[in-house]
């Protein structure tokens, strides 16, 4: 049942990305080009997602437990530390250079655009490299469970 709902959630997210045009790297790059061909549509998509998430969290967190789990799994870290700042800066730089982040990159894969075909393997390599470096810096020998 978890896999089915995960698949359904991912499908809804992906369809939303495609319908909103956010799987097109040019939309993101034009949003970042405030001195040129600025396109504010990304702000409306992110604003709509933020409002939906805000309302959804308020409704769901009033329940005693999630529908498909025994407890809510909420982040416990509350501090802004060096790994958070470095990771978010690298994510933002990559997003700004390529115009893609993980969700839209996967939804753009069927278009077989050369940029996406380069971005996705490099993103996966970066994910692996980042987790490898994080394990080494914390002294863990075993990979973290996903």
* Phi, psi dihedral angles at 80 (to 5 degrees): -95, 110
How does residue 141 score in pLDDT terms, banded at 50, 70 and 90?
low
41-60 and 25-32 are packed helices; what angle lies between their axes, rounded to 10 degrees? Answer: 100
Would you state the pLDDT for residue 130?
87
pLDDT at 116 over 90: no
What residue spans define the domains of the chain? 1-139
What's the pTM?
A: 0.66
114-138 and 82-98 are packed helices; what angle lies between their axes, rounded to 10 degrees? Answer: 170
| Percent with pLDDT over 70 in the chain | 95
pLDDT at 1 over 60: yes
Region label for 112, one of left (φ > 0), alpha (ψ between -120 and 50) or beta (otherwise): left
Would you state the pLDDT for residue 47?
94
Q: What pLDDT, in 10s, does the model give residues 44-102?
A: 988 999 999 999 999 999 999 988 888 998 888 889 998 889 989 988 888 888 888 88
């Amino acid at each position: 049942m978890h896999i089915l709902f995960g698949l359904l959630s991912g499908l809804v997210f992906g369809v939303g990305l495609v319908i909103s045009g956010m799987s097109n790297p040019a939309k993101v790059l034009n949003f970042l080009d405030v001195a040129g061909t600025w396109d504010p549509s990304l702000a409306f998509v992110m604003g709509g997602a933020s409002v939906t998430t805000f309302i959804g969290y308020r409704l769901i967190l009033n329940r005693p437990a999630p529908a498909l789990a025994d407890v809510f799994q909420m982040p416990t870290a509350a501090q802004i530390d060096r790994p958070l700042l470095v990771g978010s800066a690298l994510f933002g730089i990559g997003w700004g250079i390529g115009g893609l982040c993980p969700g839209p990159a996967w939804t753009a894969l069927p278009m077989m655009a050369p940029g996406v075909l380069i971005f996705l393997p490099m993103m996966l390599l970066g994910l692996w490299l980042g987790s490898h470096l994080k394990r080494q810096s914390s002294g863990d020998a075993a990979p973290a469970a996903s």
